[in-house]
Structure 1
Amino acid sequence: MTGPAGVRIEAIDLAAWAPQALDVQAVAFGLTPEEVMVRLHIVGRHAQQPGVIALGAVSGGRLVGFGYGMPNRRDHWWSTVIEPYLVARGHGAWLDDVFAVTELHVLPEFQGRGVGSALIRTLTARSGADRSILSAIDAETPARRLYRSLGYRDLARAVHFPNTERRYAVMGAPLPLRGAGGADVAQSAPANSR
């Protein structure tokens, strides 16, 4: 499918595309080479998960954005970290029967062009789920504004993932996602990263 700004949104083999995807994530999310190496193994494990959906945004033969997700399971590392935060706010049921957007990143020069919106809309539409959950840096960023414009709302804030100083917000939305507006920058937290 040809998306915004002449970018093609297409299904990718997550394991095969992992190095290129992590190159995009490193630029979009500011990862160190050491963090990229750790995440390469994590992405490889995620590629083997039942129901994983992975999409690439391709322009001129190169990957300029990507996103992937999977049906959430309570025994996933990410779920075990966010569960107490969700339960404390009365949102524990959001861990069940939901599609988790695991990663979503777009190169800076392609942000603001609808690429992130096209990726997340296509991912969630292909999921077959009735709702979606994700985590994002807990700050007023273009990514958070994009997610809100699509119907995501905060389920928990100030979530602390081990091995990071940043705090995250967990957001959920009914599917299908609603119309997008505003800036389109896609960055998500290390959802399901272990």
Structure 2
Amino acid sequence: MTGVTGVRIEAIDLAAWAPQALDVQAVAFGLTPEEVMVRLHIVGRHAQQPGVIAFGAFSAGRLVGFGYGMPNRREHWWSTVIEPYLAARGYGGWLDGVFAVTELHVLPEFQGRGVGSALIRTLTGWSGLDRSILSAIDAETPARRLYRSLGYQDLARAVHFPNTERRYAVMGAPLPLRGAGGPGRVQSAPANSR
């Protein structure tokens, strides 16, 4: 991929790369070992979903970031949680015909270098859909600023997911994402897309 010095974006098999991806997420998101074990099972289930797409960011052969997502389905747990929040604001239609960015994480030492932007552009660019949706911690974080710079807007705020004290924002954007360039150049098509 061009544009991010020393980092290559390429398709990954989500199930095979799940342990390394969770190591990245643990550092980037501050997860405990117990939380990593729970999420490892979730990622394993996600890897089996129809249409899942996953990309990794590599530097010197090491995974330094990853992102994955899939076409959203109303019966997904995530959708059942956010649906009342979206419906209350008139955005219930955002659950249909949209690509859900499920996870996007970059190691701290690679943040601010365009890696996250390249990952999400590549991921959504391969989706084949016209819109993207995601959730992010409802605070002014670098991630929220990145998403806004790409065209994501708040659809719902103060969303409460079970088993967490943090509040989240649900954000949506038309595709392709806003900004210079398009999806990053990748080494190959997604290995696990269906």
**Could you state the TM-score of these two structures normalised by the residue count of structure 1?**
0.92
Structure 1 residue 43 displacement after superposition: 0.2
Unaligned runs of 5+ in 2: none
Q: Is the 8 A contact 2:9 2:187 kept in 1?
A: no
| Residue matched to 2:136 | 136
Q: For the structure 1 residues 95 and 183, does the alpha-carbon distance in structure 2 shift closer, same or farther, using more than 3 Å as the test?
A: closer
Structure 1 residue 25 displacement after superposition: 0.1
Greater shift in the superposed pair: 129-138 or 178-187: 178-187
Structure 1 residue 157 displacement after superposition: 0.1
Q: For the structure 1 residues 119 and 145, does the alpha-carbon distance in structure 2 shift closer, same or farther, using more than 3 Å as the test?
A: same
SS of the aligned residue for 1:123 comes to helix
What number of residue pairs does the alignment pair up?
A: 194
C-alpha distance in structure 2 between counterparts of 1:173 and 1:160, whole Å: 21
Structure 1 residue 3 displacement after superposition: 4.8
Please, what is the CA RMSD of the aligned residues? 5.2
Q: Is the 8 A contact 2:52 2:192 kept in 1?
A: no
C-alpha distance in structure 2 between counterparts of 1:86 and 1:191, whole Å: 32
| Residue matched to 1:22 | 22
| Residue matched to 1:48 | 48
| Residue matched to 2:35 | 35
C-alpha distance in structure 2 between counterparts of 1:133 and 1:90, whole Å: 15
Q: For the structure 1 residues 56 and 100, does the alpha-carbon distance in structure 2 shift closer, same or farther, using more than 3 Å as the test?
A: same
SS of the aligned residue for 2:75 comes to coil
Q: Is the 8 A contact 1:111 1:185 kept in 2?
A: no
| Residue matched to 2:96 | 96
Structure 1 residue 178 displacement after superposition: 0.5
Q: For the structure 1 residues 136 and 180, does the alpha-carbon distance in structure 2 shift closer, same or farther, using more than 3 Å as the test?
A: farther
| Residue matched to 1:68 | 68
Q: Is the 8 A contact 1:150 1:180 kept in 2?
A: no
Q: Is the 8 A contact 2:2 2:184 kept in 1?
A: no
Q: Is the 8 A contact 1:55 1:67 kept in 2?
A: yes
Q: For the structure 1 residues 174 and 191, does the alpha-carbon distance in structure 2 shift closer, same or farther, using more than 3 Å as the test?
A: farther
SS of the aligned residue for 2:162 comes to coil
Unaligned runs of 5+ in 1: none
SS of the aligned residue for 1:162 comes to coil
Please say if 1:170 is aligned against 2:170.
yes
Structure 1 residue 104 displacement after superposition: 0.0
Q: For the structure 1 residues 169 and 193, does the alpha-carbon distance in structure 2 shift closer, same or farther, using more than 3 Å as the test?
A: farther
Q: Is the 8 A contact 1:72 1:99 kept in 2?
A: yes
**Could you state the TM-score of these two structures normalised by the residue count of structure 2?**
0.92
Q: Deviations over 1:161-192 (max 9, x none)?
A: 00000000000000000016999999999999
Structure 1 residue 5 displacement after superposition: 2.2
Q: Is the 8 A contact 2:7 2:115 kept in 1?
A: yes
Q: Deviations over 1:74-113 (max 9, x none)?
A: 0000000000000000000000000000000000000000
Q: For the structure 1 residues 53 and 59, does the alpha-carbon distance in structure 2 shift closer, same or farther, using more than 3 Å as the test?
A: same
SS of the aligned residue for 2:67 comes to strand
